[in-house]
C-alpha cells in the first residue's frame, strides 16, 4: 500500500478546493489532510458541501480551483485515463447504496473485480460471496436482485462492494442515513471492522453524531464550504467552537440557525 510515496505524505491532501454550481459557491477553499490508515469523518448540515467534497476527491465533479493530492499525486486537471488509474485505489459507499438494479447482488459486489481488474466471473463470484459473508449476508443473498433487499441489507451489500477490490481509500457517504439506530450501529461496526481488516484510509461524511463518534479517529466540520474545525474525536466535546457545539448537540438556537434565518 503506498510503497512509492515518501513517509509522512498524507494519503489525501486537499488545499484551497473551490467548487461552484452557477452562482452558488459550495466549496470555498477547503483544506483537509487525511493520513495513511486514518479514519476522518466530515460532519456538517445538509447542503454544506460534504457530498460535493467527496465527489471532487473522487473526480466525479471537476474542481474549479485548488489542489487534491492522492499519495502526493495531483489529481486536479489530470486526464480521465490518469484519474482512472488512481481511482483504482478508491472504494465508495454511496448514500443511497447505488446498487445496479439489473445485476444480481453477487455481481454487484464483484463488479469492480470483473470490470475494473479483469478477474474471471467465477473467481469474482467466490470473492463476492466471501465479502457478503464478512458483512453478515449469506450466499443465498448473492442470487437476489437489489430491489428484493431491505434498506439495511442494501447498505451492507454496498459496503461489501466498496471493500471487494480491497481499496486503499474508502469513502462512506452518509453510511447510516435512513437506517434504524440498531442497523445504523451494525453498519458502523462493519465499517470499523472492514477498514481495520484492510488497513485502509477512510473518509466518511455524515450528520449522524453517534456514527461519527464511533467510526472517526478525527472529525472535521464543514460549514459554508470551509472546514471550520478539525480535531481528534474525543476533543469535539471541548472544541470551544459555537458552530460545532450547536451541531453536535443538535440545538435549534445558535449561530447556524440565526444565519439560516437571516438568509
Partner 1 sequence: MGPLLSFLASIGAVFLNGLAASGRMAIFTIRAISHCVRPPIYPRLILRQMIDIGYYSLPVVGLTALFTGMVLALQTFTGFASFAAESAVPTVVVLSVTRELGPVIAGLMVAGRIGAAIAAELGTMRVTDQIDALTTLSTNPYKYLVVPRVLAGTITLPALVLVADIIGVFGGFLVSSYRLRFNPAAYIQRTADFIQTNDVMAGLVKAAFFGFVVALMGCYFGYHSRGGAQGVGAATTYAVVSASILILLLDYVLTALLFVGR
Residue ranges in contact with partner 1 by CB under 8 A? 55, 58-60, 80, 84, 87-88, 90-92, 94-96, 98-101, 111-112, 115-117, 161, 165
Bridge partners, 70 (sequence order):
12, 73
191 vs 51: CA distance, rounded Å: 18
**Of the two residues 101 and 253, which places its CB atom closer to partner 1 in the complex?**
101
Residue 251 C-alpha cell reads as 440545538
The CB-of-177 to partner 1 minimum distance in angstroms stands at 13
Q: How many CB atoms lie within 10 A of CB 65?
A: 12
The CB-of-16 to partner 1 minimum distance in angstroms stands at 24
22 vs 124: CA distance, rounded Å: 42
The CB-of-161 to partner 1 minimum distance in angstroms stands at 8
SS3 231: strand
As to burial, measured by CB atoms within 10 angstroms (0-12 exposed, 13-18 middle, 19+ buried), residue 252 is exposed
The CB-of-55 to partner 1 minimum distance in angstroms stands at 7
Strands 65-70 and 73-74: antiparallel
The CB-of-98 to partner 1 minimum distance in angstroms stands at 4
If you write DSSP's letter for every residue of 92-115 in order, what string do you get? Answer: EE-TT----TTS-HHHHHTHIIII
**Of the two residues 44 and 110, which places its CB atom closer to partner 1 in the complex?**
110
Amino acid at each position: 500500500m503506498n510503497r512509492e510515496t515518501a513517509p509522512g505524505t498524507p494519503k489525501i491532501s486537499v488545499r484551497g478546493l473551490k467548487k461552484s454550481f452557477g452562482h452558488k459557491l459550495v466549496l470555498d477553499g477547503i483544506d483537509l489532510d487525511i493520513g495513511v490508515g486514518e479514519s476522518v469523518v466530515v460532519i456538517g448540515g445538509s447542503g454544506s458541501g460534504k457530498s460535493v467534497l467527496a465527489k471532487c476527491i473522487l473526480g466525479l465533479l471537476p474542481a474549479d480551483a485548488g489542489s487534491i493530492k492522492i499519495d502526493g499525486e495531483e489529481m486536479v486537471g489530470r486526464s480521465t485515463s490518469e484519474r482512472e488509474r488512481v481511482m483504482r485505489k478508491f472504494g465508495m459507499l454511496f448514500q443511497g447504496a447505488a446498487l445496479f438494479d439489473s445485476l444480481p447482488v453477487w455481481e454487484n459486489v464483484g463488479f469492480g473485480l470483473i470490470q475494473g481488474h479483469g478477474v474471471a466471473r467465477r473467481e469474482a463470484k467466490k470473492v463476492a460471496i466471501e465479502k457478503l459473508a464478512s458483512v453478515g449476508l449469506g450466499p443465498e443473498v448473492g442470487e437476489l436482485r437489489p430491489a428484493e433487499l431491505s434498506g439495511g441489507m442494501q447498505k451492507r451489500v454496498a459496503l461489501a462492494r466498496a471493500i471487494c477490490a480491497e481499496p486503499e481509500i474508502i469513502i462512506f457517504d452518509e453510511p447510516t442515513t435512513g437506517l434504524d439506530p440498531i442497523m445504523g450501529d451494525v453498519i458502523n461496526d462493519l465499517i470499523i471492522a472492514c477498514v481495520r481488516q484492510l488497513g485502509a484510509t477512510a473518509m466518511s461524511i455524515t450528520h449522524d453524531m453517534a456514527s461519527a463518534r464511533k467510526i472517526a479517529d478525527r472529525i472535521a466540520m464543514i460549514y459554508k464550504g470551509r472546514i471550520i474545525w478539525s480535531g481528534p474525536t474525543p476533543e469535539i466535546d471541548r472544541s470551544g467552537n459555537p458552530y460545532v457545539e450547536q451541531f453536535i448537540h443538535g440545538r435549534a438556537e445558535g449561530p447556524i440557525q440565526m444565519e439560516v434565518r437571516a438568509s
